[in-house]
A = this chain, B = another copy of it.
Amino acid sequence: MKIVCYKDTILKAINSVVKAVASKTTMPILEGILIQTNDNEIKLTTYDLEIGIEYVIECEVKEQGSTVVNAVMFSEIIRKLPDTEIHITLNNQNLLEIECEGSLYKLATMSPEEFPELPKIEVENSIEVDQNVLKNMIRKTIFAVSSEESRPIFTGCLFEIENSKLTLVAVDGFRLALKSIFLTKQSNDFKAVIPGKTLNEVNKIITDSFEPIKIGVSKNQALFEMDNCKVVTRILDGEFLNYKNVIPNSWETRIKVNKNNIQDSFERISLISASSIEKEKKYPVKVQVDIGKVIISCTNQTGDAKEELFVSTEGKNLEVGFNPKYFLDSLKVIEDEEVYIEFGTSISPCLIKSIEKDDYIYMILPIRLKED
């Protein structure tokens, strides 16, 4: 194998594929990048047996061939070379020679035959969205994906396509995050639960651009397809929460509030609420709605905190306890200037919603207030 390519081109490919390099493994081959030539292209492949990534670039192929090289060493060396042409050659001692101006590096390689094959996918259903749109949707839901391995289905994010609308839903038992958009092209209805870990990596690979990304699913696998780059992942098995049934559709108390102001208040109050010396005891913050204002307060052994905001209120007065972290996680990703916060009773979940649209919903379960 003998190729010549520009540093920038191959580095971009490497930066994408390294996301699926296994980090803690007893199988060194999974720490490698498979490099394969194909006419005047090379394909870089990584696969940690959960996520697989392929990236194809054009370059000058002087001799066809393939090899596997340690991903970390290969990427670090390429990263530090000058911005110019790099000659990459598999020599006859099976060392990968990387040559660039006065630099010559020779790295040990592994056999491409040992590299595990990526699962083949027969795409049954697919949609296409802009990369920036998907990136935004992932950012707005992924934080609510559960990390509890005991209920594996909730370690994923639901992708639901219904009447040409794409909805992402994540839920972890304490809160739920939902974000939807209308697709520009018509599509079949289908759904799939994508592992949160994969989505995180996909999110790092996709750009903030208007370039398209195609999301295809088969029975057990999903495929994210961009220009030059493919990401393959398994789909989580099992029944996701029927989210439509758990989101309340009426309220007893509703406030309309400046998003930044209430976010700042929750941030400050978290300092006291999170400072509890008895970490295992949850000190909820108390949210109190009175006519024309909301008061958020918290008391523990570190101190005492009270935040008062003047807001427009509708419905009953109310007192309810929450973990401020869940409010913050949601508020941080909302871009609207104002939001509605809807409450039921002191034991029913609260919703954060858009004033004008219904393209996102954050649901947060309350915590019982301790009277001590």
Contacts and interface: CB of A to CB of B under 8 A. Distances in A.
Interface stretch (A110-118, A132-140, A302-310): A302-310
Chain A interface: which size bin?
20 to 34
Given A80-B268, A82-B264, A268-B80, A108 B302 contact: yes
A83 to B, nearest CB: 11
A80 B264 contact: yes
A267 interface: yes
Contacts of A306: 103-105
Interface string A22-61: 0000000000000000000000000000000000000000
Contacts of A77: 268, 271
B307 A80 contact: no
A303 B108 contact: yes
B271 A80 contact: yes
A73 interface: yes
Contacts of A302: 70, 73, 107-108
Interface of A: 70, 73, 76-77, 80-82, 95, 102-108, 264-265, 267-268, 271-272, 275, 301-310
22 contacts: A73-B271, A73-B303, A76-B271, A77-B268, A77-B271, A80-B267, A80-B268, A80-B271, A95-B303, A102-B265, A102-B309, A103-B268, A103-B307, A104-B305, A104-B306, A104-B308, A105-B272, A105-B305, A106-B303, A107-B303, A107-B304, A108-B303
